[in-house]
């Protein structure tokens, strides 16, 4: 019987694949995720959990330039499942050190479920 799930992978177009790789290589190591195959100059770039169980994230070099805003139609944000609250805190420190816009410090968000501890 074939395995089924909610989402196999998500693909995102980016303006600079090399810069995206630099950023996400570092972040994914904090989150316990890894690149699954070598990225060729034209892409794509791929990350996922160890053991290939779970959703994968792909990045592709965009052919057309554009701007991003989470307030416009399209992708709003990405949320990653991690193994512990300590990893959430480490990811928050990592993002803060890089000047990322932090909407919420690490905390519980009971409105999203009893086990939701996150930073946005």
Q: Tell me the pLDDT tens digit for each residue of 5-51.
A: 677 888 999 989 999 999 999 999 999 888 888 888 778 999 988 65
With beta carbons less than 8 A apart as the criterion, state whether 58 and 14 touch: no
Q: Tell me the pLDDT tens digit for each residue of 97-113.
A: 999 999 999 999 999 98
13 or 52, which is more confident: 13
Q: How far apart are CA 18 and CA 80, in angstroms?
A: 22
Domain ranges of the chain: 1-65, 82-120
Is pLDDT at 56 greater than 90 in this prediction? no
Q: Tell me the pLDDT tens digit for each residue of 62-110.
A: 888 788 777 888 888 888 888 899 999 999 999 999 999 999 999 999 9
Domain 1-65: homologous superfamily in CATH? 2,3-Dihydroxybiphenyl 1,2-Dioxygenase, domain 1 (3.10.180.10)
Is pTM, for the whole model, over 0.95? no
Residue 109 has a pLDDT of 95
109 or 1, which is more confident: 109
Give the contacts of 109 (CB within 8 A, at least 6 positions apart).
116, 117, 118
Residue 111 has a pLDDT of 96
With beta carbons less than 8 A apart as the criterion, state whether 88 and 80 touch: no
């Amino acid at each position: 019987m074939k395995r089924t799930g909610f989402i196999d992978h998500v693909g995102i177009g980016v303006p600079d694949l090399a810069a995206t790789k630099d950023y996400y290589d570092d972040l994914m190591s904090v989150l316990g995720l890894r690149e699954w195959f070598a990225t060729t100059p034209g892409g794509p770039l791929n990350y996922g959990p160890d053991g290939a169980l779970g959703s994968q994230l792909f990045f592709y070099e965009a052919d057309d330039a554009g701007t991003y805003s989470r307030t416009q139609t399209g992708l709003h944000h990405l949320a990653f499942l991690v193994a512990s609250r300590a990893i959430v805190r480490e990811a928050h420190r990592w993002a803060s050190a890089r000047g990322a816009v932090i909407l919420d410090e690490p905390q519980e968000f009971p409105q999203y479920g009893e086990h939701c501890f996150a930073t946005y």
